[in-house]
Structure 1
Amino acid sequence: MNKDLDYIFPDPPEGVDPRALDPERIPESVAIIMDGNGRWAKKRALNRLKGHKAGIEAVREAIRCASDLGVRYLTIYSFSTENWKRPEDEVVGLMDLFAKTMLAEVDGLHEEGVRVRTIGDLSALPAETREAFDEAWEKTRDNDGMTLVVAVNYGGRQEILRACRGCMREAVLLGEETGEVIEPTEEMFERGLYTFGMPDPDLVIRTSGEMRISNFLLWQIAYSEFVVTDVLWPDFNRYTFLECLLEYQGRNRRFGGVA
């Protein structure tokens, strides 16, 4: 853990005890399905884009808290391959928001030693948005702190298809070189994943109470622990994060074995 618990959680709400958190059992990798921006906005008679803008502070809070606690990888599900089906003005606004937020935040992330990378098909993004993510990667790629992974234009099924194609190509090429029939392996498959070289999530958090995976990291979450909170994403803060971590630490992870 990078900082003291009293520093990270200075004013816990009643009934939430930061000292119950075991600093030795902080998950290495956490993934968050950020859900509820639209409902948050609707409750306040605002348009959906206002909800997305409100969610930026929750993203900042999650990054700061995760980094301070010593989480090594934090993956945030920002935009799925299915989200293109949303109203055009919302999609255009989101792409603009991604670009502006990334450019505004990258210097601070860099100072904190955070490395920013993306997973997903960035080729379909508007040039301004794509360039903002590229700039963040180039600026922070040599940092050795927490890795912030932004899943944008990402879909789990599409990633699996991509990995299958790469796996088959590798097997065919190796077969041509050796003159043997090469069976694809799990290792070959994983080399085609966007997340190659990263640990699988220990913990997946979903906000807004929805009990869905939403095409997120379908291969990688085979043995992840899931925690669902009813909190809408713009209301997510470090104490919500703490509650999720405490629930995670109360689990007995067996990975298919016997307790």
Structure 2
Amino acid sequence: MSGLPASNVTDPVPATGAGPRHVAIIMDGNGRWAKRRFLPRVAGHKAGAEAVRRTVTAAADMGLGALTLYAFSSENWRRPAEEVSDLMGILRLYLRKEVAELHKNGIRLRTIGDIGALEGDLIDLIREGVERTKDNRRLDFVLALNYGAQDEMVRAVRDIAREVAAGRLDPSAIEPGAIEARLDTSDLPPLDLIIRTSGERRLSNFLLWQAAYAELLFVDTLWPDFDADTLAAAVADFGARDRRFGGR
């Protein structure tokens, strides 16, 4: 496991030795996992769904406040149509099978991103899952679907521009908090840790605003192999860091 030094978060108090409240994961490596086993890419995506199940359970057991998974980016539409269809089918199956288990375990399902671009039956499954679990408090499990951080920020800025144009907001009063309040994550804990699997070292348009003071950790583990031990090691790495938030 390898990490990058980071300087980060909106929380002004250093939390050396403390565990993260909000962890986000860029799930990468499904295709390479399948290729190494001479399997079709869809097999890697199916194995990745199993890793989601393991990781959500582990996050709840560890007492995290929120877990956000980058499930489908706004750029993923550029993939071959067959692969996009496979991904959406796996998401359907996951929601049909797992929402009851999430609810049983006190986990609240959330989404960020523009789900309105998804197919109607999938939108219905997502909304039903969100509604069914809305009163759960053990863990906020957030799926980033058709999500892109730049799009998220553009939507926030457009909303502010409309408020200014209507005379309801003075431009001189616009501060970072005005943008944060309009982001998809506005009612989630501040982001503490971003993990990216498979050895890649970039954020890929994921939670760019929220990552301002988040710790970054890049691991070589391919996503289908990610499990409770991998998550525990990442949390331990986080706890050993000295988070200064630019204060010293």
Q: TM-score scaled to structure 2, two decimals?
A: 0.90
- Greater Cα offset, 108-117 or 197-206: 197-206
Matches within 5 A, 1:59-74: 59-74=52-67
Instruction: Sort the Cα spacing of 1:181 and 1:162 in 2 relative to 1 into closer, same or farther, 3 A.
Output: closer
Q: Distance in 1 between matches of 2:168 and 2:185?
A: 28
1:200 aligns with 2:190: yes
How far the C-alpha of 1:150 sits from its partner, in A, is 0.3
1:127 aligns with 2:120: yes
1:187 aligns with 2:177: yes
The aligned counterpart of 1:237 is 227
1:109 aligns with 2:102: yes
Instruction: Sort the Cα spacing of 1:187 and 1:87 in 2 relative to 1 into closer, same or farther, 3 A.
Output: same
The residue type paired with residue 241 of structure 1 is L
RMSD, matched Cα: 1.4
The aligned counterpart of 1:247 is 237
How many residue pairs match? The answer is 232
Instruction: Sort the Cα spacing of 1:47 and 1:196 in 2 relative to 1 into closer, same or farther, 3 A.
Output: same
The residue type paired with residue 227 of structure 1 is L
Provide the secondary structure at the position in 1 that maps to 2:35.
Answer: helix
1:49 aligns with 2:39: no
Q: Which ranges in structure 1 are unaligned for 5 or more consecutive residues?
A: 1-23
The aligned counterpart of 2:5 is none
How far the C-alpha of 1:183 sits from its partner, in A, is 3.7
Q: Distance in 2 between matches of 1:131 and 1:172?
A: 34
Q: Distance in 1 between matches of 2:96 and 2:25?
A: 22
Partner residue of 1:98 out of 91, 109, 112: 91
Partner residue of 1:228 out of 202, 218, 232: 218
Which structure: larger Rg?
A: 1
The residue type paired with residue 26 of structure 1 is G
| Conserved 8 A contact 2:108-2:139 | yes
Instruction: Sort the Cα spacing of 1:126 and 1:250 in 2 relative to 1 into closer, same or farther, 3 A.
Output: same
1:25 aligns with 2:15: no
Partner residue of 1:145 out of 115, 135, 138: 138
Per-residue deviation, residues 1-58 of structure 1 (Å, max 9, x unmatched): xxxxxxxxxxxxxxxxxxxxxxx82211000000000000111111111100011111
How far the C-alpha of 1:185 sits from its partner, in A, is 2.4
- Greater Cα offset, 236-245 or 70-79: 236-245
The aligned counterpart of 1:76 is 69
What is the percentage of aligned positions where both structures have the same residue? 47
Instruction: Sort the Cα spacing of 1:195 and 1:177 in 2 relative to 1 into closer, same or farther, 3 A.
Output: closer
Q: Distance in 2 between matches of 1:226 and 1:68?
A: 22
How far the C-alpha of 1:156 sits from its partner, in A, is 0.5
How far the C-alpha of 1:181 sits from its partner, in A, is 5.8
The aligned counterpart of 2:246 is 256
| Conserved 8 A contact 1:38-1:52 | yes
Q: Distance in 1 between matches of 2:146 and 2:168?
A: 36
